[in-house]
Chains A and B, each alone.
Chain A
């Protein structure tokens, strides 16, 4: 097996569960090769009022979506997600450098 690693970007989107189908459609449109999703719980201790999303009921469920791709693709996706969803939905977007094997997969 080729053990050489290659640099890619890991884009993490933490968002409301109801957005999953629309996020997946957006990823496909913007050229991502794939994604991983799992459900999470969490909250914030913001000064304007504590908020917790504990996954009780469909509108309270939260997903953590990860996409590994080229940096340019990740930045385009991040910008589009923030443009389309951040005004009315709970959305967090993060980028991190990762090293991957088999770069053609990403």
Chain B
């Protein structure tokens, strides 16, 4: 059994049992900064050994796909899940954006099974953060809803700054420069990810009551969306982006994941009419554990069969 998953489960159980275990906010913040920067740096170093043109097409296709995703999900959320416009736009934005931790778990899962992936996958991860959120805002604005302009906030949110900044710095310093950072950002990565998952488990456990209020239709959506999006992502990764089976699997997990850090904060400001509990509960309390326990192993099997 993967220790990462066990720690996540411990967090969920502790919270449901009303344990007093909690991470101080600055620790949570520091762990997430570390993870984003570590993923960025590692991707940047790998990128320094690749011709830039090899990344151009997958990068463009990733931006287009993640921008299009909320437009596909919106009618489903409106008519099948029966959400009002603001809520549907907000939830669609969560699923158009990406979960960095799900990416990290999938990358670790593939690594343990010695399944190689393209070195530029963290670049695609960074590119997938913002377009889905912007599309969600457009969907809300089209119906006359919406609050503060957030384009600047979305483009410079800490996730993008740390991932993209890490990639650029990693690409500039290359293997030699990274050697001195590796003890912190490479060797300790899985341990820090394990701590972060314990915290995430606590958060998920706390979201369970919200889920009851969200209704069964949204829960069904939060289970079905990653399955359908994952298979679609595998198809696109293989046939449109031209990735290897490992790369296509990781891409599929990214498409299947939903943001619960960048998207909730951005949508809270951009579409204040939306109920913030819906998107974050669906993304974090249903889709995230579903991806970790079911979808990542499933997509890995499907990916190796392509």
Listed in ascending order, the chain A residues whose CB lies under 8 Å from chain B are 16, 18, 22, 39, 49, 54-59, 61, 87-89
Q: B270-293 CB contact bits vs A (8 Å, 1 = yes)?
A: 001100100010001000000000
Given contacts A88-B147, A88-B272, A88-B273, contact A59 B265 (CB under 8 A): yes
Q: What is the CB-to-nearest-CB distance from A17 to chain B, in angstroms, rounded to a whole number?
A: 8
- Inside 8 A of B272's CB, which chain A residues have their CB? 87-89
A59 near B273 (CB under 8 angstroms)?
no
A22 near B206 (CB under 8 angstroms)?
no
A54 near B265 (CB under 8 angstroms)?
no
B280 near A59 (CB under 8 angstroms)?
yes
Whether B268 sits at the interface, judged by CB under 8 Å, is yes
B264 near A57 (CB under 8 angstroms)?
yes
Q: In the complex, which of the residues A18, A54, A55, A87 contacts B268, with contact meaning CB atoms closer than 8 Å?
A: A18
A61 near B268 (CB under 8 angstroms)?
no
A58 near B261 (CB under 8 angstroms)?
yes
Q: What is the CB-to-nearest-CB distance from A41 to chain B, in angstroms, rounded to a whole number?
A: 9
B25 near A59 (CB under 8 angstroms)?
no
B148 near A56 (CB under 8 angstroms)?
no
Complex Cα–Cα for A49 and B277 (A): 14
A-B contact pairs, 14 of them (CB 8 A): A18-B265, A18-B268, A18-B269, A49-B213, A54-B206, A55-B25, A56-B203, A56-B206, A58-B264, A59-B268, A59-B276, A88-B147, A88-B272, A89-B272
- Inside 8 A of B9's CB, which chain A residues have their CB? none
- Inside 8 A of A18's CB, which chain B residues have their CB? 265, 268-269
User: Closest chain B residue to A56 by CB distance?
Assistant: B203
B148 near A58 (CB under 8 angstroms)?
no
A57 near B280 (CB under 8 angstroms)?
yes
Q: What is the CB-to-nearest-CB distance from B65 to chain A, in angstroms, rounded to a whole number?
A: 26
User: Closest chain A residue to B209 by CB distance?
Assistant: A50
A57 near B261 (CB under 8 angstroms)?
yes
Whether B67 sits at the interface, judged by CB under 8 Å, is no
- Inside 8 A of B284's CB, which chain A residues have their CB? 57
Whether B260 sits at the interface, judged by CB under 8 Å, is yes
Top 5 A-B pairs, shortest CB-CB distance: A88-B272, A58-B265, A59-B264, A56-B203, A18-B268
Whether B202 sits at the interface, judged by CB under 8 Å, is yes
Q: What is the CB-to-nearest-CB distance from A89 to chain B, in angstroms, rounded to a whole number?
A: 6
Complex Cα–Cα for A88 and B274 (A): 8
Complex Cα–Cα for A57 and B25 (A): 9
- Inside 8 A of B202's CB, which chain A residues have their CB? 56
Given contacts A22-B148, A57-B203, A59-B280, contact A16 B268 (CB under 8 A): yes
User: Closest chain A residue to B272 by CB distance?
Assistant: A88
Complex Cα–Cα for A87 and B274 (A): 12
Q: What is the CB-to-nearest-CB distance from A62 to chain B, in angstroms, rounded to a whole number?
A: 11
**Residues of B225-280 contacting chain A, CB below 8 A:** 260-261, 264-265, 268-269, 272-273, 276, 280
Complex Cα–Cα for A59 and B266 (A): 9
User: Closest chain A residue to B148 by CB distance?
Assistant: A22
Q: What is the CB-to-nearest-CB distance from B107 to chain A, in angstroms, rounded to a whole number?
A: 23
Known interface pairs A59-B276, A87-B272, A88-B272; 7 further A-B residue pairs with C-beta atoms within 8 A, sorted by A's residue number: A54-B206, A55-B25, A57-B260, A57-B261, A59-B265, A61-B25, A89-B272
- Inside 8 A of A88's CB, which chain B residues have their CB? 147, 272-273
User: Closest chain A residue to B263 by CB distance?
Assistant: A59
- Inside 8 A of A89's CB, which chain B residues have their CB? 272
Given contacts A56-B202, A57-B260, A57-B280, contact A39 B268 (CB under 8 A): no
